[in-house]
Amino acid sequence: MLEVGKAGSAGVEKGVLPVLRGGAVVATVRASNWKEAATAVVGDREWLFANRKRELTARWAVDPEESVRLRARQTSFWKGTWEVDLGGAPLRRETVSFWKGTHRYSTEGRVVAEVGSTGGWSPRPTLSAEDSLPLEARVFLLWLEVVINRRNAATISAGAGAAVIVGGSS
C-alpha cells in the first residue's frame, strides 16, 4: 500500500509530499498551492502533472509540452466518476463509500486499485493496487486523489461561506 505522507516529513524538504510504502519514501510530489499542477519524482524520472483542457495530465519533464502519457477526466460531478487512461490502460474511478472517502479504480469489472485515507484531522490518501500497475501510475492516481480532495474541500468551504452570507442577511 502507498500513502501520501505529511509535507516535509520522512526526510523530504518542506513543501514536498512524500509517497510512502511501509514508511519508506518511494516517490515525492511537489504540488502547487495555487493551481492543479505538481512535479513528481519517481525513481530517476521527473514527471509534470497539470490541469490541461479540463483533464488532469502527466508527462515526463523532458517530453514536449503538448505530450500526455497519463490522463484523467471527470465524467460525472454528482456521482464522482472519472475516466483514467494510464498509457493505454483505461480505468474508471467510482465511489465505494462517500462517508468513508473510499474509491476504486476498475477496468472491465476488475478492481485494479482502491483508495482510502489515513483518517484523523488531516486525512491523506492511501492506495492499494495490483502489482501490475507501475509505480508512476500509482503516484498519478494518488495525486489525482489529492486534487479531488482539494476540489471537494473548496466546494464545501464555498457552500459554508454562502450559507453564512445568506443566513446573516436578515
Q: What is the pLDDT of residues 96-112, one digit of tens each?
A: 887 777 899 999 989 99
For 12-35, what is the mean pLDDT?
Answer: 93
46 contacts 39 by C-beta, under 8 angstroms: yes
Q: What percent of the chain has pLDDT over 90?
A: 66
Task: Please tell me the distance from the alpha carbon of residue 51 to that of residue 43, in angstroms, as a whole number.
Answer: 23
By CB atoms closer than 10 A (0-12, 13-18, 19+), residue 104 is middle
| CATH number reported for the structural domain that contains residue 52 in this entry | 2.40.160
Nearest to 31 by CA among 119, 147, 162: 147
How many domains does one find in the chain? Answer: 1
Task: Please tell me the distance from the alpha carbon of residue 121 to that of residue 124, in angstroms, as a whole number.
Answer: 10
| Contacts of residue 164, Cβ cutoff 8 Å, sequence gap at least 6 | none
For 23-39, what is the mean pLDDT?
Answer: 92
101 lies in which domain range?
2-167
- Render pLDDT for 111-122 as a digit per residue (tens, 0 to 9): 999 999 887 777
At residue 128, the pLDDT reads: 96
